[in-house]
Amino acid sequence: MSHSKHELGGDKQSSTRGGNISSRIPGFYKLGVRERLTALRDLAGLSDAEVGLLHDGCLSVEQANHMVENVVGTYALPLGLGLNFQVNGRDYLVPMCVEEPSVIAAASNAARMVREGGGFVAEADPPLMIAQVQLYDVPDTTAGTQAILAEKAALMCACNDAQPSLVRRGGGTRDIEVRTLEPSTAEDAGMLVVHLIVDCCDAMGANLVNTVAEAVAPRLAALAGGCFGLRILSNLADRRCVRVRCRVPVDVLRSERFDGVAVRDGIVLASRFAELDPYRAATHNKGIMNGIDPVVLATGNDWRGVEAGAHAFAARSGVYRPLAIWRAGSDGMLLGQIELPMAIGTVGGTLRVHPGARLGLQISGVKSAQELGMVMASVGLASNLAALRALAAEGIQQGHMSLHARSVAVAAGASGALVDIVAAELSKLGDIRKERAEQILSQLRESAAY
Ligand code: HMG
pLDDT single digits (tens) 339-375: 999 999 999 989 889 999 999 999 999 999 999 999 9
Q: Could you tell me if the CB of 406 is within 6 A of ligand 1?
A: no
DSSP state of 83: E
The rounded distance, in Å, linking the Cα atoms of 202 and 372 is 10
**Residue located nearest, by CA, to atom 51 of ligand 1:** 287
Q: pLDDT by residue (tens digit) across 299-309?
A: 999 999 999 99
Query: Catalytic one among 286, 394, 431, 438?
Result: 286
* Non-local CB neighbours of 359 within 8 Å, separated by 6+ positions: 46, 50, 53, 54, 58, 95
319-to-194, 348, 380 alpha-carbon distances in Å:
25, 35, 21
What per-residue confidence (pLDDT) applies to 349? 87
Distance between CA atoms of residues 23 and 421, nearest Å: 29
Phi, psi of 110 (to 5 degrees): -70, -35
Q: What is the DSSP string of 338-398?
A: EEEE----SBSGGGGT-HHHHHHHHHHT--SHHHHHHHHHHHHHHHHHHHHHHHHTT-HHH
Give residue 13's pLDDT. Answer: 52
| pLDDT tens digits, 1-11 | 333 332 333 44
* CA distance from start to end of the chain: 30
The pLDDT, as a whole number, for residue 8 is 34
Q: Give the pLDDT of residue 1.
A: 30
Please check the confidence at residue 285 and state whether its pLDDT lies above 80: yes
Query: Does the Cβ of 362 fall within 6 Å of ligand 1?
Result: no
Residue 434 bears catalytic tag? no
Determine the distance separating the centroid of ligand 1 and the alpha carbon of 106, expressed in angstroms: 3
- 400 classed as catalytic: yes
Residue 248 pLDDT level (bands cut at 50, 70, 90): very high
pLDDT score, position 6: 28
CB contact at 8 A, 180 and 190: no
Atom of ligand 1 nearest to the CA of 26: 21
Q: Ligand 1 in contact with 190 (CB < 6 A)?
A: no
Secondary structure (H, E, C), 217-275: HHHHHHHHCCEEEEEEECCCCCCCEEEEEEEECHHHHCCCCCCHHHHHHHHHHHHHHHH
Report the alpha-carbon distance of residue 79 to residue 355 in Å, rounded. Answer: 13
Among candidates 219, 218, 181, 200, which has minimal Cα distance to 131?
Answer: 200
Mean pLDDT, residues 409-416: 90
187 is catalytic: no
pLDDT band at 399 (very low <50, low <70, confident <90, very high): confident
Considering only CA atoms, which residue is closest to atom 9 of ligand 1? 109
Residue 449, pLDDT score: 57
Residue 218 to residue 332: CA distance in whole angstroms: 58
Tell me which residue of 153, 144, 146 sits closest to 173, measured CA to CA. 153
Measured from the Cβ of residue 324, the count of other Cβ atoms closer than 10 Å reads 24
**Degrees, nearest 5: CA angle 369-26-331:** 75
> What confidence category does residue 18 fall into, taking pLDDT thresholds of 50, 70 and 90?
very low
Residue type at 269?
L
Distinct helix (H) and strand (E) counts, the chain = 17, 10
Average pLDDT over residues 81-100: 98
- d(C-alpha 150, C-alpha 153), whole Å: 8
Please check the confidence at residue 138 and state whether its pLDDT lies above 70.
yes
| Residues 311-348 pLDDT 10s | 999 999 999 999 999 999 999 999 999 999 999 999 99
Pocket test for ligand 1, best of 108, 115, 406, 427 (most atoms within 8 A of CB): 108
42 counts as catalytic: no
CA atoms within 13 A on the CB side of 229: 12
d(CA 306, CA 249): 31
Q: In this predicted model, what pLDDT tens digit does every residue of 165-188 receive, in sequence order?
A: 999 999 999 999 999 999 888 888
| Rounded Cα–Cα distance for residues 29 and 315 (Å) | 37
8 Å CB contact between 271 and 327: yes
205: left (phi over 0), alpha (psi -120 to 50) or beta: left
* Ligand 1 lined by 29 (C-beta under 6 Å): yes
**Nearest atom in ligand 1 to 388's CA:** 57
Distance CA 325, CA 246 (A): 11
Q: Which residue type is seen at 381?
A: L
Is ligand 1 within 6 A of the CB of residue 30? Answer: no
Paired strand residues for 400:
none
In contact, 399 and 390? CB cutoff 8 Å:
yes
Ligand 1 atom nearest to CA at 384: 57
Handedness of CA 66, 68, 69, 72 (dihedral sign): negative
243-263 average pLDDT score: 97
* CA gap 236, 312 in Å, rounded: 6
Nearest CA to 391 among 273, 252, 243, 247?
273
